[in-house]
Structures are given as structure tokens and as C-alpha cells.
Amino acid sequence: MSTPPQAPTPTPTPTPTPRERALRLRELVVDGPLVLPNAWDAGSAAVIASAGAPAIATTSGGVSWSLGRGDGHRLDRAQAVEAARRIVAAVDVPVTVDAEGGYGPTPADVAATVAALVGAGAAGVNLEDSTAVGGPLFPVAEQADRLRAARTAAAAAGLPELVVNARTDVLLFGLGGLDDVLARAEAYAEAGADGLFVPGLLDLDALAGLCERSPLPVNAMAVAGGPTVAELAAAGVRRVSVGTGLAQLAYTAARRAAAELLGAGTLAELDGALGFGELNGLYRG
């Protein structure tokens, strides 16, 4: 009796290298708009990747909450880098990390943070120009020096392809207008930034004007009730993220279900939840 042929053993897909991830992130922005659901821990990153996200951004607010801290420069570098390392390890898609203000005011601080994040596998970083929640902002030349240090540190760490997204909080904190944003965009581009993130700007006409004049691709933060991805793309936005939005939704769902259980003793809020097996199958460990 002949032995039935054995099915070939599938060849494991090789894990992308850091350079491949960074180059892929760059390609996605060029091909954009790149839509980036924001993760806050390894579990949320795996779930977002399973939904089809081609890349993942982290949210400093969500990461901070998951570690029992408030948002706004309240993590230290070691905590932020370790959180990023776990998220990167959970997925094969590129991860761009919200590094807040670089975990220190000086260019050397930013360089140390970027080098550590490259070591953790990040394909990109967000670096903001606010010194604290609500401001003030770093002076333009000072922030340009910080971004230049990030670019130099990435190259020294072996990843010159790292995507550096420069966030400006001019409009988010009401500290100026579009001309101030453009002045910063020009300085940040000269310093080596790859993109401009302008949270707080969702007026489509203003966005279209900014996208037309900015030397850098523009990233907008979408919010519930605001413009759709299609509308943002039509205005010229190349990258769309949601900040703490998904984390807020997840924590809201947890509180609603807990309140129902504690109050009515029922669990209707759990209807439609992802199954245990489906969730458990997303993780490698």
C-alpha cells in the first residue's frame, strides 16, 4: 500500500528587518493616505494588525494609561522604550512610536530616545514641539536642533531610514496660526523631518491650504464627528491617526460592562465581543 503524499510544511514568513519596516512605512505615506489606528499595548497592536492595518502608530496617552500614569510627559525614557519594544514584537507591520517630546529637553535627550527606540524596533517616531501640555513650545530653532539630533541618532544607530514625524502643537494649544505652523514646517523640513503632524486642525479648507504650502506631508488627527478619511485625503492629508481615540473606546467599553455587571448583574455589554480563541490566537507567546 502506497503512503499518501505528505502536505509540504509551510515555510515561515521571515520577520521583516527594521530597515524593511522603515522603508515600508515611507512607501505607505507616499502611496497614502496612510491610516494609522493607534495602539497602546502589545495586545491592542495585535488586534489592530488583525483588522488589516498596514502599519501601527502608538499613542503616548494610551501607553501611559496602560502603565497607570497620566499623559503628558509623565513616562520616562525607559518606560516608553520598553512599551514600544513589546508593541513592535507583537506585530510584523511597521510601528511608529509617539515619543512625546523626546523625554528630555536637549538634543542629546532626543538623540538618546531615538537611539533606544531604533533598538526597540521602531520604524518611525513622532516628536512634538511642546514643552508641556498646553505649552509653551520650544523655539523654532531649538526644536529644529532637536529634530536634527533625532535624524543623526537614527543614522548612527543603523537606521537612517527611520521616519521622523514632527508634531507641532501651535494650533492644538492656540499658540499661533497657520503662518506659524508653516514657519515651523520649513525649519523642521530643513532639519530632516519626514512629515508634519498638526493635531487640532480639522477645517478642510485650512488643511487644504496647509497641505498645498507645506514642504512636508501633513498628518491630521481624526476625531468622532469630524472629517472622514476620504475628506482628509481630498484636502491633501497623507497620514491620518486617531490619537487616544481607540484606547478611550476600549476603556469606555470596559467601564460600561463592569457597571452593568455590578448594577443589573447582567452582561449584555459583552455581546459581540471577540472570542477567546480568536484573541488568544493573535499572540506569539
- pLDDT digit string (tens) for 74-96? 999 999 999 999 999 999 999 99
State the DSSP string of 52-121.
T-SSEEE-HHHHHHHTT--SSS-S-HHHHHHHHHHHHHH-SS-EEEE-TT-SSSSHHHHHHHHHHHHHTT
C-alpha closest to that of 258 among 250, 278, 41: 250
> Looking at the predicted structure, is the pLDDT value of residue 214 above 70?
yes
Q: What is the pLDDT of residue 10?
A: 52
Q: Which of 23-27, 69-73, 121-125, 190-194 has the lowest mean pLDDT?
A: 69-73
Q: Which long-range contacts (C-beta less than 8 Å, at least 24 apart) are formed by 65-69? A: 65/40, 65/244, 65/247, 65/251, 66/40, 66/41, 66/247
Domains observed in the chain: 18-243 (3.20.20.60)
> Looking at the predicted structure, is the pLDDT value of residue 11 above 60?
no
State the DSSP string of 128-155.
E-BSSTT--BPPHHHHHHHHHHHHHHHH
Segment 221-228 mean pLDDT: 96
Q: Map residue 204 onto helix, strand or coil.
A: helix
Contact 93, 43 (CB under 8 A): no
Q: What is the pLDDT of residue 110?
A: 98
What confidence tier does 50 reach under pLDDT thresholds 50, 70, 90? very high
pLDDT above 70 covers what percent of the chain? 95
Q: What is the pLDDT of residue 2?
A: 53
Q: What is the pLDDT of residue 255?
A: 98
What confidence tier does 285 reach under pLDDT thresholds 50, 70, 90? confident
Q: What is the pLDDT of residue 65?
A: 97
- In one-letter notation, the amino acid at residue 12 is P
Q: What are the cell numbers at 48?
A: 489592530
Instruction: State yes or no: cis peptide before 16, omega within 30 of 0.
Output: no
Q: Which residues pair with residue 56 across a beta bridge?
A: 95
Average pLDDT, the chain: 95
C-alpha closest to that of 39 among 214, 212, 249: 249
Distance, in Å, from the CA atom of 90 to the CA atom of 165, rounded to the nearest integer, reads: 22
Segment 219-247 mean pLDDT: 97
Q: 0.85 cut: is pTM over it? A: yes
> Looking at the predicted structure, is the pLDDT value of residue 140 above 80?
yes
Segment 263-274 mean pLDDT: 96
> Looking at the predicted structure, is the pLDDT value of residue 14 above 90?
no
> Looking at the predicted structure, is the pLDDT value of residue 123 above 90?
yes
Distance, in Å, from the CA atom of 219 to the CA atom of 164, rounded to the nearest integer, reads: 12
